[in-house]
């Protein structure tokens, strides 16, 4: 009797961006922080806690710089595909009348975003739609590539993983931190 082949999807979150400071800032400064974060290189002190192998894997990256730099730092010899759907869900920013630490702004803004508050960025509804397109692409790729490694972003990785689990994939490992590795498997 032949052993059932296992398909595997590995999400690797990018390394810590150099601009990921947590100073106290107002709403205008926070909007600038978001723009700098989106274009940031990696913090040279940021390294993977451990590495999963890339052998015999189809390597996919987000179009954002921090994901492409992370793949190179991780040791990816070649990128098989760049998928625009894999980019991070936009980090929302709102004009609110107070000062917070940058990561508190992220948490508050994400909460408002989840509740449907709109702004000059993609809506949560659109971001979830984009994640569904990404899930479809991953499942198509998994038909011909038994192991797919995606260098992406925290929120996109989380929601795509959740969508895959809702479609029969099993969570084997989960880590959403910078350089975190999340692994899902499906038996054919």
What is residue 103's predicted lDDT score, i.e. its pLDDT? 96
Please give the domain boundaries of the chain with CATH numbers for all domains.
Answer: 6-187 (3.40.50.1240)
Residue 43 backbone phi and psi in degrees, to 5: -65, 125
Structure tokens at 42: 């990696």
With cut-offs at 50, 70 and 90, classify the pLDDT of residue 6. very high
**Which ranges of the chain would DSSP assign to H, the alpha helix?**
27-39, 65-74, 102-114, 124-142, 154-166
What is residue 48's predicted lDDT score, i.e. its pLDDT? 95
Q: What is the CA radius of gyration of the chain?
A: 17
What is residue 188's predicted lDDT score, i.e. its pLDDT? 75
Task: Judge whether 102 and 23 are in contact, CB under 8 Å.
Answer: yes
DSSP 100: E
Predicted confidence (pLDDT) per residue in 95-147, tens digit:
999 999 999 999 999 999 999 999 989 999 999 999 999 999 999 999 999 99
What is residue 1's predicted lDDT score, i.e. its pLDDT? 44
Q: Please, what is the end-to-end C-alpha distance for the chain in angstroms?
A: 14
Structure tokens at 80: 């098989």
Percent of the chain with pLDDT over 70: 98
pTM above 0.85, yes or no: yes
C-alpha pair distances (Å), 101 with each of 88, 98, 105 = 21, 10, 6
What is residue 5's predicted lDDT score, i.e. its pLDDT? 83
| Across 30-45, average pLDDT | 94
C-alpha pair distances (Å), 103 with each of 56, 99, 100, 162, 173 = 37, 12, 8, 24, 25
Greater confidence, 119 or 61? 61
Predicted confidence (pLDDT) per residue in 149-174, tens digit:
999 999 999 999 999 999 999 999 99
For 39, other C-beta atoms within 10 Å of its C-beta total 11
Structure tokens at 47: 């390294």
């Amino acid at each position: 009797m032949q052993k059932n082949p296992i398909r595997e999807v590995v999400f690797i979150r990018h390394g810590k961006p150099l601009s990921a400071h947590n100073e106290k800032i107002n709403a205008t400064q926070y909007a600038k922080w978001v723009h700098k974060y989106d274009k940031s290189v990696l913090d040279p002190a940021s390294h993977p806690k451990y590495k999963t192998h890339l052998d015999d894997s189809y390597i996919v990256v987000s179009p954002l710089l921090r994901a492409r730099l992370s793949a190179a730092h991780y040791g990816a010899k070649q990128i098989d595909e760049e998928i625009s759907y894999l980019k991070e869900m936009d980090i929302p920013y709102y004009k609110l009348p107070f000062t917070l630490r940058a990561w508190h702004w992220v948490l508050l803004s994400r909460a408002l975003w989840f509740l449907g508050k709109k702004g000059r960025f993609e809506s949560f509804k659109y971001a979830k739609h984009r994640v569904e397109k990404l899930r479809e692409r991953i499942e198509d790729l998994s038909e011909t590539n038994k192991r797919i490694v995606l260098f992406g972003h925290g929120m996109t990785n989380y929601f795509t993983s959740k969508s895959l689990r809702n479609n029969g994939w099993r969570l084997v490992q989960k880590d959403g931190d910078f350089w975190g590795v999340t692994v899902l498997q499906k038996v054919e």
